[in-house]
Homo-oligomer: A and B are copies of this chain.
Amino acid sequence: MLHCVMSDQSLDVVDISGTHQRKRSSVTCAECRLNKICLPIALNSEELDRLDDVIQRDRAQEKGDYLYHMGDSFKTLYAVRSGSFKTYMVSECGVEQITGFYLPGDVMGIDGVAQGRYTNHAVALEHSAVCRVPYSQLESLSQVMPTLQRNIFRIMGCEITREQKMMTLLGSCTAEQKVASFLLSLSRRKAERGLSSTNIHLTMSRGDIANYLGLTIETVSRLFNRFKKRNILSIDNKSIVINDLDILSSCVSPEREAV
């Protein structure tokens, strides 16, 4: 158990301040601009303080840093504070499948709840930061804080719903619908966070997008450029501007008259 705790705890604390005042080194949940979409939703201020007490705020993750690996013993949930992450699983036969992209306010690590081991790898797509939430303490807290328990249920429920929609996308949509859908989903999620819904900076590679959507890199690239030629998108490498959200939306539904 020690080896895991080691990597989970307070490394950054010493690094940053040289002292042990963990809580003051960073923004609290109460102050966090994400507390309306993150774990703390609807908690009162006393509850917020108690949650705060168990949460550790990490030093930054660099691009390519792993938060956890598939098979690691599950002890911690991670809330994205800034930046972005991807999670992926590797099947017995060695096939990698990206299972999600995570933005600030999203909670990662839930995949470990079922078996006590993470079933995914989680890796930073850019310079990022997370809050670490020790799961055992979260469980105990949620025993006395119904709202917190409900939030955990809700977050897990959202994950289930999201993945079910993903099944529809993967199972019965064309490449064009998949790519359009992916961009619209990013757009919506940015809007929910109060950010631009039309100017998107992709932190993942074309290969990541392709893998996530069950396509090849070439197909994703071609689709991006097809949308560009139709003036639906402007593309400059990783920077994408959605010129017309409505037309892009119309690409998602199967039947459309306009070619």
Contacts and interface: CB of A to CB of B under 8 A. Distances in A.
- Chain A contact residues, majority secondary structure: helix
Interface string A116-150: 00011000000000000000000100111010011
Interface stretch (A39-47, A61-69, A92-100): A92-100
Nearest to A173: B95
A152 interface: yes
Nearest to A114: B157
A168 B212 CA distance: 9
A216 to B, nearest CB: 10
Contact of A113 (B110, B156, B167, B253): B156
B154 A113 contact: yes
A72 interface: no
B97 A171 contact: yes
A163 to B, nearest CB: 4
Interface residues of A, number: 49
Interface in A154-192: 154, 156-161, 163-168, 170-173
A193 B139 CA distance: 29
The 7 nearest A-B residue pairs measured at CB: A171-B214, A114-B157, A113-B157, A93-B253, A170-B170, A97-B168, A163-B163
Interface of A: 89, 91-93, 95, 97, 99, 110-115, 119-120, 139, 142-144, 146, 149-150, 152-154, 156-161, 163-168, 170-173, 211-214, 252-255
8 contacts: A91-B168, A113-B156, A113-B160, A115-B161, A139-B146, A159-B160, A163-B167, A170-B170
